[in-house]
Every structure is written in C-alpha cells, then in structure tokens.
Amino acid sequence: MSIKLVTLDLDNTLWETDPVIVKAEKACHDWIVANVPQAAEFYTLEALRQYKNDIAECFPQLRDKVSALRLEVLRRVFLQAGISGDEGREKAQQAFDVFYKTRSEVTLFDGALDALKTLKNDYSLIAATNGNADLKLIGIDHLFDAHFSAEQVGAPKPQADLFEAALAHAGVNPEECIHIGDHQEQDIVAAKRLGIKTIWVNLCDAAWAEQECVPDQEITHLSQLVSAVAALQ
C-alpha cells in the first residue's frame, strides 16, 4: 500500500524550541513590566515561570492546553495586581499575544524547508503537535494541508487522538501514513502502535531507549528526510 500522508511533529523536529520559549517568556514579562508594573512587583520572570508550573499542578485539566494555561496564569497574575473582570482578561490576552508572536519566531533546522517543499509535491502533509506553534506566523502554513494540536483535539501524544484526527482528515489508513518526529515515546512509539510507519529525527545522536519498538527510519539531519520517506514508499 503506497504512502499518501506524512504527519510531522513540530517542536524540536523542525526547529529548536527551548530558546524560543525562553525568549517569548521574557518578551511577555517585559510587556507586563511596561504595561502592568504593579503585577511585575509580584512576579519576577522566574517567579512567573514557577507560578505557571504551580497552576498546571493544581489544574491538571489545563496541563496539556498550553495556550489556555498561559492565559489563565496571566489572568490570575493581573487579578492579584487588582485588575479583574473584562479588563483583566483583556490585559491577559494582550500579554499572551506578545508571548505568542515571539514564540512563533522560530529558525527552521537546516534542510527543513527544502524537505517540506519537496514532500509537499508528492504527499499530503499534516502537522500533529502537543505544542501551540502558529504555522501561519512562522510562514510555512502553505506547505501543510492541516494542523492538529493537542489543545485542539483534547489529548496529547502519546495518546492516539492527534494521529487519528490526521488520518481522518486525509481519509487514509495507518498503513498509508508516515509520522516524523523527535520524541521516542510521543512520536515514534505512539505512531507505531497504530500501524503508522515512522521516521525518528535524532539530531542529537541519542541512543534509542524504548523497548516496545524501533523506528522504521532514523535521520540525523533533515537533509536526509526526503530519502528516508522514499525508502518507506
């Protein structure tokens, strides 16, 4: 059965994520300092990060809703600073918008853009991510037929919901799909459980640690991606 669909993880598969999040959190906190200084008196940048972790622990239903979690944290911060109701929600949205714009200022790994353009010629491409990256802001939305996030479908990888949403959207069977990702459990093991072929993006030259299965292909640079897909076709 030929391959018709390629699904891709985003964070740490197509770009490095941690430095972008650090930069985005600082931009958000800088906005708070400039626009709601009384809130900044309660929370330094590091304290704000810790508060987000605390809220995620207290409200596990928000843990995988990464945008909703940050908005709720900001709303509570401004409430503590004496800004409530519609004004507090508006300020929270403004601060989050600053975070989100900066969070989408990513630098694609070498070879990523060329690989996406080439694969787009032959396959349906769908993003399947636990994160909240904005493909339109990044400037690559035109290369994807759809984009499903854990927040959107209601469950994160390694649960099956994201993969099932992509398969249903494309109207294909698992055997007609390849999933590409960096995370051993969330991407490779989870996709293999459904019968989806897998390509492990191992840019750090890590050892494979999962016992349940192994990836069908492994690449150490995204310039190898097109040939790895072709090998599974």
> Which class is 5-15+107-232 in CATH?
alpha beta
Domain boundaries defined on the chain: 5-15+107-232, 18-103
CA–CA dist 148, 129 (Å, integer): 7
pLDDT in tens, the chain (233 residues): 699 999 999 999 999 999 999 999 999 999 999 999 999 998 999 999 999 999 999 999 998 899 999 999 999 999 999 999 999 999 999 999 999 999 999 999 999 999 999 999 999 999 999 999 999 999 999 999 999 999 999 999 999 999 999 999 999 999 999 999 999 999 999 999 999 999 999 999 999 999 999 999 999 999 999 999 999 98
The set of residues, in sequence order, having a beta carbon less than 8 Å from that of 105 and lying 6+ positions away, is 20, 23, 137
CA–CA dist 56, 88 (Å, integer): 20
> Which class is 18-103 in CATH?
mainly alpha
Paired tokens of 79:
């409430």
The set of residues, in sequence order, having a beta carbon less than 8 Å from that of 124 and lying 6+ positions away, is 4, 5, 6, 145, 170, 172
DSSP 71: H
Q: pTM for the full model?
A: 0.94
> The tokens 């309660």 sit on which residue?
42
Rg (CA), the chain: 19
